Amino acid sequence: MKRMLSTLVIVLVVALMVLPQVPATAQQKVQITLWHMEQPPHRVERIQTLIDEFNAANPDIEVKQEPQNWGEIYTKAPAAVAAGNAPELLFAIPDFTPILKDLGTVLPVEDFVAELDAAHKFYPAAVAQYTYEGHTWAVPLYNMAHSLWYRKSVFEAAGVEVPTTWDEWLAVTEKLTTGEQYGIGLPANKNLYTDQTVYDLMINAGADEIYNPDGSLRFNNPQTVEAYDMYSKLYKFSPPDSPNWAWGEAEACFANRSCASILQFTVITTYDTQAEGDPADLGVAPIPYKEGVENPGTIAYVNAVMILTDDPAKVEAAKKFISFILEPENYGRFLNMEPGLFLPVTEDGAVAESFWNDPLVVKYKEQVEIMVKNSTGGRLFGFTGGNTFPSIAAISAQNLLAQTLQMIVIDGMSPADAVAEGQRLMEEAIED
Amino acid sequence: MRNTTPHTARARLWANFRSEWLSINTLMGYAFVLPLLLWLAATILYPLLVSIQISVQNIKFIGTPGEYVGLDNYQRVLSSPYFHAALKNSAIWVVANALVQTVLAFAAALILKQQFVGNRIARIWIILSWVVPTVVVVIIWRWLLSASGGIVNYSLQALGIIDKPMGFFSTGNTAFISVILINSWRWFPFNAVILLAALQRIPAELYEAAAVDGANVVQKFRFITLPSLQPVLFVMGLIGTLLSFNVFDVIWLLTGGGPSRATTTLPVLIYDTAFKKYRLSQAAAMSVLTGIILLVFAALFIRFLSPASEDSDER
């Protein structure tokens, strides 16, 4: 009995000495939670692969992902910040960042971006979308840019060349519109897709600036009116249900050959899996511009990651993870979580073997090269020429570019009147 | 006559109170109801009070602080043309849905009441559209009505009714009609099943007696079927209207309230104001006003359209 008791005491003493070590070891790990909006399972899986590799290489850090969706994040993230349970890392698009920045939770990262720039060389346009009020608010991660997608054989059959100017574009689109085929698929829904396609035309009309340098709006100008006028002319050659379109309908219209061309970030996956999948017939080109416009281009969304903590250990761990993602051997795999859609924002990323050796990228190399080229000169409404003001978030969230278009193509207003009303709505949206 | 002193009157009052309010049966009844009352207080009363509180502040984003602004939001909402337009759309939405669903439900219930081969399968089959999740219904109809490859446009063209595909959601009127029909298609089976159950409870003897008296089909419907269904129709009318008024998902997923706000009803406007415009307090004011409108509607509906109860008949 005595021996049993002494054995028990020894076991307890050893247990007391060992047990506290277990949580202590766990506590030593810096926990980083990443919220992103790349919900499709294959994207989540690819991100998890990279996280697992990072966690294995950094035993003192534990990164975990919690996929969110774009529909909810605009309300969920501020609520999480208010409740004190925001993630340490949160993916962003340019017009989402000001919302969290205004809550005072986003860590300025200009020094960190400068370090990364020295190592990887960011495209300046990528950093510009997150730099305002004296700071850079997020680290650019990947780009998405619109292009004009078409079928080469359809253009050849119609005897038309790929248009480069607006006059050519209108003529080609009209010629491509036949009984069962629409020359172009252009949305007119009040959503982000329409905002994007409208802005494509605004850029190419020389109306890419929404703000004056003093922060006042300059949306109502002759160039913007010209852009809307051109859109409404092209829209006549678009399917009649396009007022209800999102990205999926446009891709489907292109895939089933009802639309001879569309403006889209990419059609590669849909074209490869649901259409012919013949890379030799898939055409991609820069968006045509109005004659005389000096700086034509396309809309480009640089996606980035914000750091939402000021805990030094967590900040350090978060930076380490971001650096890991941007390393060329990892970066290509990160971008190819959706091959042919996500484009590099760094110069060494653009030539990384890990990017170009994905089977789908290999197959559509010619198209991806043109996409990358288009993306480097991309712009985003409200984030151009250094005239960036956080109030763009309110304009963007209400899809006022698209609403202005609906006034023309649905309500029958003149482009000039609609643009004037659009500016009034924007002023109303940004008032305090 | 017995003399009653104030003391004995008080004692009697207390005794009555005890026997009525403090009896075991009464207390047991309250004990059973209490959890439900607490649940309702937590899920309806508390959010309602919070909504009222938010509606008198100037909060933009959820979770951010605001300042007291009195009735400013109510003033702004009541003078907003968008609110008036949405209220009008909601009224059209409710009436149109009620009409279409009632007609379809009646027709379906009367058909299903007949004995025919496959009747049991038909009764199960008809509720399929109600069982399918809203998002699936929306996707199905969007593709059916698509102008590029949709079967509806293809069929209409093949039949020579239209010469080129039409956009069902392209103009305000066609979009509103399309959404109403899709929502009615989704909900009429539910009403049909309720009506069918009520129809089956009408004694066959009543119809036999009416036939003996020489009543025709219309008279049987007018004087037997309709009065017998009145309690069911009353409940369907009240609950159906309230549910229909609050429909958000079908409209939002099909049209997002467009094109050009043509299908923006009050629930859509409230969502849009709170989560697209980031004017949470204004949206809360709209919610409170909507709640009041529905409360007044329910009170008037019960006051004027409630079927005479058996008690009042006896009196």
The reply to whether residue A244 touches residue B172, judged by beta carbons under 8 angstroms, is no
- Segment A80-103 mean pLDDT: 88
From chain A, the residues in CB contact with B81 under 8 A are none
* Collapsed DSSP state (helix, strand, coil) of residue A44: helix
- Segment A3-27 mean pLDDT: 53
> Cα–Cα distance between A233 and A221 in angstroms, integer?
19
Share of residues in chain B with pLDDT > 70 (%)? 96
Residue type, A241: D
Which residues contact residue A402 at a Cβ distance below 8 angstroms, ignoring those fewer than 6 apart? A187, A188, A189, A190, A191, A192, A194, A195, A198
Extract the tokens encoding B249.
Answer: 């998902």
The ranges assigned to domains in chain B are 84-276+283-314
The residue length of chain B stands at 315
**Predicted local confidence at residue A393, as pLDDT:** 81
Same topology between domain A31-144+301-375 and domain A147-298+390-430: yes
* CB-nearest partner of A81 from B63, B164, B167: B63
- Segment A315-335 mean pLDDT: 97
Q: Is the pLDDT of residue A94 over 80?
A: yes
* CB-nearest partner of A256 from B149, B168, B256: B149
**Predicted local confidence at residue A15, as pLDDT:** 53
Evaluate the omega torsion of the peptide bond into residue B65 and state whether it is cis, within 30 degrees of 0: no
The reply to whether residue A240 touches residue B147, judged by beta carbons under 8 angstroms, is yes
Assign a CATH topology to domain A147-298+390-430.
D-Maltodextrin-Binding Protein; domain 2 (3.40.190)
**Predicted local confidence at residue A81, as pLDDT:** 87
A238 and chain B in contact, CB less than 8 A: no
Task: Compute, in degrees rounded to 10, the torsion defined by CA atoms A148, A153, A155, A156.
Answer: 150
Residue pair B167/B174 in contact (Cβ under 8 Å)? The answer is yes
**Predicted local confidence at residue A385, as pLDDT:** 74
Q: Is the pLDDT of residue A32 over 80?
A: yes
Q: Is the pLDDT of residue A27 over 70?
A: no
* CB-nearest partner of A258 from B148, B168, B257: B148
**Predicted local confidence at residue A6, as pLDDT:** 62
**Predicted local confidence at residue B305, as pLDDT:** 86
Interface test with B, best of A191, A244, A392 (most B CBs within 10 A): A244
CB burial of A50-65 (b: ≥16 within 10 Å; e: otherwise) equals bbeebbeebeebbbeb
Residue pair A298/A287 in contact (Cβ under 8 Å)? The answer is yes
> Cα–Cα distance between A73 and A93 in angstroms, integer?
11
Closest residue in B to A80 (Cα) is: B63
**Predicted local confidence at residue A30, as pLDDT:** 95
Task: Compute, in degrees rounded to 10, the torsion defined by CA atoms B129, B132, B133, B134.
Answer: -20
Q: Is the pLDDT of residue A255 over 50?
A: yes
> Cα–Cα distance between B266 and B256 in angstroms, integer?
12
The model's confidence at residue A133, banded by pLDDT at 50, 70 and 90, is confident
Instruction: Classify strands A30-36 and A89-92 as parallel, antiparallel or unpaired.
Output: parallel
* Collapsed DSSP state (helix, strand, coil) of residue A153: helix
Percentages helix, strand, coil for chain B (3-state, rounded to 5) are: 75, 0, 25
CATH for B84-276+283-314, options being 1.10.3720.10, 1.10.8.290, 3.30.365.10, 3.30.465.10:
1.10.3720.10
**Predicted local confidence at residue B4, as pLDDT:** 62
The model's confidence at residue A3, banded by pLDDT at 50, 70 and 90, is low
Interface test with A, best of B148, B152, B280 (most A CBs within 10 A): B148
Instruction: Classify strands A261-264 and A61-67 as parallel, antiparallel or unpaired.
Output: unpaired
The model's confidence at residue B62, banded by pLDDT at 50, 70 and 90, is confident
From chain B, the residues in CB contact with A424 under 8 A are none
- Segment A87-97 mean pLDDT: 93
Residue pair A382/A95 in contact (Cβ under 8 Å)? The answer is yes
**What does the pLDDT look like over B4-38, one tens digit per residue?**
677 788 888 888 888 777 888 888 988 999 999 99
Q: Is the pLDDT of residue A22 over 50?
A: no
**Predicted local confidence at residue B8, as pLDDT:** 82
The reply to whether residue A103 touches residue B278, judged by beta carbons under 8 angstroms, is no
Residue pair A176/A193 in contact (Cβ under 8 Å)? The answer is no
DSSP 8-state symbol, A65: E
> Cα–Cα distance between B34 and A50 in angstroms, integer?
53
Which residues contact residue A203 at a Cβ distance below 8 angstroms, ignoring those fewer than 6 apart? A287, A296, A297, A298, A299, A379
> Is the sign of the CA dihedral A116, A117, A122, A128 positive or negative?
positive
Q: Is the pLDDT of residue A287 over 90?
A: yes
> Is the sign of the CA dihedral A191, A399, A418, A298 positive or negative?
negative
Q: Is the pLDDT of residue A354 over 90?
A: yes
The reply to whether residue B258 touches residue A189, judged by beta carbons under 8 angstroms, is yes
DSSP 8-state symbol, A384: S
- Segment A170-174 mean pLDDT: 97
**Predicted local confidence at residue A146, as pLDDT:** 94
Share of residues in chain A with pLDDT > 90 (%)? 67
- Segment A84-105 mean pLDDT: 89
Q: Is the pLDDT of residue A26 over 70?
A: no
Mean pLDDT (chain B, rounded): 89
Residue pair A6/A58 in contact (Cβ under 8 Å)? The answer is no
Mean pLDDT (chain A, rounded): 90
**Predicted local confidence at residue B257, as pLDDT:** 93
The reply to whether residue B142 touches residue A240, judged by beta carbons under 8 angstroms, is no
The reply to whether residue A256 touches residue B148, judged by beta carbons under 8 angstroms, is yes
**Predicted local confidence at residue A103, as pLDDT:** 81
CATH architecture assignment, domain A31-144+301-375: 3-Layer(aba) Sandwich (3.40)
The reply to whether residue B258 touches residue A190, judged by beta carbons under 8 angstroms, is yes
The reply to whether residue A244 touches residue B254, judged by beta carbons under 8 angstroms, is yes
Helix axes of B266-275 and B280-305: crossing angle, nearest 10 degrees: 160
The ranges assigned to domains in chain A are 31-144+301-375, 147-298+390-430
> Cα–Cα distance between B13 and B8 in angstroms, integer?
8
Share of residues in chain A with pLDDT > 70 (%)? 94
Q: Is the pLDDT of residue B87 over 90?
A: yes
Residue pair B295/B241 in contact (Cβ under 8 Å)? The answer is no
**Predicted local confidence at residue A12, as pLDDT:** 57
**What does the pLDDT look like over B109-130, one tens digit per residue?**
989 888 888 888 888 888 888 8
B62 and chain A in contact, CB less than 8 A: yes
Q: Is the pLDDT of residue B178 over 50?
A: yes
Residue pair A249/B138 in contact (Cβ under 8 Å)? The answer is no
Task: Compute, in degrees rounded to 10, the torsion defined by CA atoms A261, A266, A269, A270.
Answer: -30
Q: How many contiguous H segments (helices) and E segments (strands) does chain A have? A: 22, 10
Q: Is the pLDDT of residue A23 over 50?
A: no
